[in-house]
Amino acid sequence: MLSVLNHLYSPGAVKGRCSVSLPMASVLLTFSLRHNLRLVASGCRYVSKTAPKTLSEFEYDAPSMKTPVPGPKSQELKKQLGEIQNVGAINFFCNYEESRGNYLVDADGNRMLDLYTQISSVPIGYNHPALMKAVTNPNNLSAFVNRPALGILPPENFPEKLIETLLSVAPSGMTRLQTMACGSCSNENAFKSMFIWYRVSVLACSYVCLFKQAPGCPDLSILSFMGGFHGRTLGCLATTHSKVIHKLDIPSLDWPIAPFPRLQYPLEEFARENSQEEARCLEEVEDLIVKWRQKGKPVAGVVVEPIQAEGGDNHASSDFFIKLRNIARKHGCAFHADEVQTGGGATGKFWAHEHWGTDDPADIVSFSKKMLSGGYYHTDELQPDKGYRIFNTWMGDPSKNLFLSEVLNIIRRENLLEEVTRSGKALLQGLYELQTQYPHLLSRARGQGTFCAIDARDDVTRDNLLLKTRDKGVLLGGCGERSIRFRPALVFKEHHAHQFLNIFNDVLAEYK
């Protein structure tokens, strides 16, 4: 057994292809994790101070590129899949069996440092040994084999597992939890909960609701923000305002849209201007709430992201969000913090709204992505009064809750939120230096933790930089009109940040 493990975790096996299949490797992991490969990170040549070298378990030491991306195998697979479905958004195909930690391997054997992580949804890297071990634990088999309809027939250990996992990281003031399967359905049902709460004093259980008439179907609204992204289902699309392609040709609800602050950077040089901008947006929020009430479409809830992610990594101050929360309360609107992308630790706190420094941040907090499933926390007041009002077949997945349990254990045991803060400082400091060195290409570096972004001079430059960086072995994402976003896993270390900065510096130096 040990000889097989030694071969599986030898440098040659990891840097090439493992000779043992992934299912077999999973079984072997349950016997011993101490034989995982430890590789010292390669040295940094970046101009800033080199981070201390650390041992990294079960991970490669650097990117390794064999072909352009997408390579020939990815192109052939894309052609094959194109006969079945639309492939316009596909970048390349992946070999997830060979991916490790912070490194994603594609179908052509290219190994890339991944700072995009499946649109910010990988919490502790690829094929983490703790998750592999959970798969092979006989006590977990039932959760993987059987997927119950949680709303009517949950497993007997379901309350215990929720207390152990999701409720153990509940936001301040959140006493209740509703599990769901993804970000969109989490927000969609959170909206429904706000509408139900708003109408709690009205007899809404009326026959006329089947025909979309009042009082059973009241003409209520949700206030959202320009640049926001809350999902692609019909209700969520009415609050999504980040890209035209998301909404093109799709009918939408007539709901109010407020401006989100457009801060100027560096923040310390534009404190007065940014304060005025936030005040302008808050005034517009209050005006819209009043106008929509006068139109006969009262605002039942306000939804906002702590950082507008898809819309361009747009930040606002803690003071802005606290005042926004107070405006919602003043006008009797529920306040919904959408933490689908920001939740789970990427900002250096488990929930991005914790940076606001208030004990009463919201009435509803939705989550998904790094939480591995979906759902929303809410206060007692937003608990629906009847069964089936918030309902679908699965309402989540208990097997993902098993993985989340392991993720939370790793976060606590390895102090990953502190790690995120350290590596985030290294990443952001490097971005500051690069925008100083290449002011004709980069500007507006910003972020919290490793949840960072920087602007290119235009969208064409941004897209070209993404492709050139990918060809050198680093996977990044774009957002907004011209922003590059960084979404590494929580196991992203300082030496990974410097590894990226070295490569990005090379790309910028060569860029014409």
The one catalytic residue among 338, 363, 397, 455: 338
Place of tokens 């996977």: 475
Q: Across the strands, what pairs with 185?
A: none
CB 346 within 8 A of CB 490: yes
**How many C-beta atoms surround the C-beta of residue 247 within 10 A?**
15
The one catalytic residue among 229, 260, 367, 492: 229
The one catalytic residue among 161, 349, 369, 370: 369
Tell me if residue 379 is catalytic: no
Tell me if residue 338 is catalytic: yes
CB 206 within 8 A of CB 389: no
**Residue 79, φ and ψ in degrees, nearest 5:** -65, -40
Residue 166 DSSP one-character state: G
Residue 388 to residue 369: CA distance in whole angstroms = 25
Q: Which distant-in-sequence residues (6+ apart) come within 8 Å of 39 by Cβ?
A: 11, 55, 56, 59, 60, 61
The one catalytic residue among 295, 393, 458, 459: 393
Give burial (CB, 10 Å; 0-12/13-18/19+) of 495.
buried
Rounded to 5, what percent of the chain is helix, strand, coil?
A: 40, 15, 45
CB 379 within 8 A of CB 176: yes
Query: What is the widest separation between alpha-carbon atoms in the chain?
Result: 75
Tell me if residue 229 is catalytic: yes
Tell me if residue 219 is catalytic: no
The order of strands in the sheet holding 451-456 is 442-448, 451-456, 483-486, 477-479
Residue count (the chain)? 512
CB 181 within 8 A of CB 436: no
Q: Which distant-in-sequence residues (6+ apart) come within 8 Å of 380 by Cβ?
A: 175, 176
Q: Across the strands, what pairs with 364?
A: 336, 378
Which residues belong to the active site?
229, 338, 369, 393
